[in-house]
Amino acid sequence: MSSGGDIPKKARERAAELREQIRYHNHRYYVLDDPVIADAEYDRLFDELVALEADHPDLVTDDSPTQRIGGEPLTAFDSVRHQVPMLSLAKCTTVEELEDWLKRCRNRLERDEPLALTCEPKIDGVAVTLLYQDGRLTLAATRGDGETGEDITANVRTLKAVPLSLDADDVPALLEVRGEIYMAQADFQAFNAAALEAGEKPLVNPRNGAAGSLRQLDPKVTARRPLTLFCYGVGRIDGDWSPATQKAVLDGLAGWGFRVNPEVEVVTGAEGAEAYIDALLERRSRLGYDIDGVVIKVDDLSLQRRLGTLSRTPRWALAFKYPAEEATTRVLAVDFQVGRTGAVTPVARLEPVFVGGVTVSNATLHNMDEIARLDLHVGDTVMIRRAGDVIPQVMAVITAKRPKDAEPVSLPDGCPSCGSPIVRPEGEVVARCSAGPRTCPAQRKEGLKHFASRLALDIDGLGDKLVEQLVEADLVREPADLFRLGADTLAGLERMGEKSAANLVAALERSRETTLARLIYALGIREVGTATAQNLASHFGSLEALMAADQAALEAVPDVGPVVAGHVHAYFRDDERRAAVEDLVEVGVHWPAPPGAGGPAPLAGETWVLTGSLESLSRDEAKERLQALGAKVTGSVSGKTDCVVAGPGAGSKLDKARKLDVPVLDEAEFLEILNRHGQGVGGSDDAG
């Protein structure tokens, strides 16, 4: 583009230097997920290059990082014929089908021994091909029908994870890279939150978001969408590069600056692939992006060539599909549920549908604003999503399928449990029953369920149905009443034998001994979760001090702001609630002084990360013990992490800890630290 004849040498050199630095930092940030400079510093470099190019337009090159912003809008996308067809993958959903496929591969290859296989997450995104000629990105296209796709070069150039040029010496003269463009879940949520704030239509899901963003005729729109990609293979190659395995292909691509999924593993045979499939499914909801399965490939490229392809699918690859996390179904009714704090939440009753591996017949609708946003009517067909253990959500209404008699939804005037008026305080999205738990049985029931739950007093055998019976029979009004229940009374309840009654009395006896943090959490104060309860317990050291604290004292607790402090303060200013808490002490609920009360907690100020699985205790238990010792437990490894506990199945967090030189403990070393500080597993009496 530039002849550059009359541009000062200094400006040219500085522009080249800036481009190289910006490319390096883009790669650190967008490809390796490991930035080494602050955003503001990056912005300064970028702004300097923009200014330099504005002063000397001849300096602009088409691979300059400034050229990602998005060019002129197109009127249509051109068609592109793929030089090597973009195949699709054969699919399976059972291990039997996977084993049959491997048997067929081995038979064709006349091999008895298990095959080396690469396994990687199957990203739920949009497949693309990227063509590099002499190291420059010259074309990006969609898959289309596999033979012909659409030219989306202008849009793809705006993705910072896509290198515009490759400057290594060993890049083939023509390199076609295949990948999947997607939107990470957190980026999707942030994008939607901003869209809602601006009164714009949110995206339905990350996949639709990615596809819609790439279909924009104006690349400036695409540039504002948080898209990234993982590269998974190659198409046509002209040049000197002959990797022997699929893994070597991926390593080569990563070496040239492409983003390759860190979850890729080489495994052996059906057993290895099945273990990978199980382990990835377990971590599916923590990956941070949507996947719909695992892609399994014969690793050896010479074996791939011998296996060949069928008309549209390679024989050497297979997609193992996980249960879909989204499905469409019909809304039969909208009911209103009352929670422990009186919040009235609309719930969609659905025609049962299999999604995320279970049959779903209810989905939360959060609040009336959400119903308005979705424009949901009873009778509508909706898209629902159930990911991991998260409560099913209604993502969108398919308005084209709305029947004529569909009914709009409105908030009832009275609480469905006690009939008291429903109020919606100014500025709040949540509607509430205006009565308290003493009047409203639903709040009483939900409060008791919360009190008995696993992270609260963990009362074994006190399930939801039993709580409902106890409240309906007016045997329990306050949590302390639970501890006054005798085996005889319990044995008289429906579906309760003498043995279950005796077991429950024993469980209640055990749960009398707890921790201060658990007790605070169990009270069910608005917006006080386990972490806040832990902070309150560590900070005040005793129930009396917490109950006496004023607003300012509460706001001095780490991570407690004015709103949460206000809820805690209001809770303990209510005489009846104070009496109910004091009653718990009266019936023998007790706890040891928290470690750190009377001296600094041993891990105070430290940030720990747990990854992989532990044998002797669950992650929740490990987290609770670390918090009891004063540590903050976070979900991601950074330069601020003091220690990582890694069990089997630890993945990218462990890699990152090693890269950053963060100390890593195995389970035995971790248990030793817990033991040393009186938080050991089995035997410690203050463990929760």
Interface with ligand I6G by CB under 6 A: which residues?
87-89, 120, 122, 127, 180, 232-233, 295, 314, 317
Nearer residue to ligand I6G within complex by CB, 319 or 382: 319
Among the residues of 311-460, which ranges form H helices? 368-374, 441-452
When the beta carbons of 66 and 142 are compared against ligand I6G, the nearer one is 142
Nearest to 394 by CA among 409, 404, 405, 414: 409
Return the number of other C-beta atoms located less than 10 Å from residue 615's C-beta.
10
Are 686 and 679 spatial neighbours (Cβ–Cβ below 8 Å)? yes
Q: Which of 10, 91, 122, 653 is catalytic?
A: 122
State how beta strands 407-408 and 377-378 pair. antiparallel
Q: How far is CA 448 from the centre of its chain?
A: 29
Catalytic site residue 122?
yes
Percent of residues in the chain assigned helix, strand, coil, to nearest 5: 40, 20, 40
Question: Could you identify the residue written with the tokens 């819609």?
Answer: 212
The tally of CA atoms less than 13 A away on the side-chain side of residue 89 is 20
CB 317 within 8 A of CB 296: yes
Name the 3-class secondary structure at 660.
coil
Q: Parallel, antiparallel, or unpaired for β 116-123 and 291-298?
A: antiparallel
**CB-count burial class (<10 Å; 0-12, 13-18, 19+) for 474:** exposed
In angstroms, rounded to a whole number, what is the distance separating the alpha carbons of residues 229 and 236?
Answer: 19
Nearest by Cα to 139 from 147, 148, 150: 150
Torsion, Cα 557 531 346 377, to 10 degrees, reads 100
Euclidean distance between CA atoms 69 and 160, whole angstroms: 10
What is the C-alpha to C-alpha distance for residues 465 and 385, in angstroms, rounded to an integer?
Answer: 27
Q: How far apart are CA 350 and CA 385, in angstroms?
A: 12
Name the amino acid, one letter, at 431. Answer: A
- Cβ at position 650, least distance to ligand I6G in Å: 22
- How many whole angstroms separate alpha carbon 454 and alpha carbon 470? 19
Compare residues 180 and 325 and give the one whose CB is closer to ligand I6G: 180
Strands 174-182 and 79-81: unpaired
Q: Distances in Å between the alpha carbon of 462 and those of 79, 417, 433, 511?
A: 63, 22, 26, 11
Q: Is the dihedral of CA 275, 281, 284, 290 positive or negative?
A: positive
Q: Hey, which residues are catalytic here?
A: 122
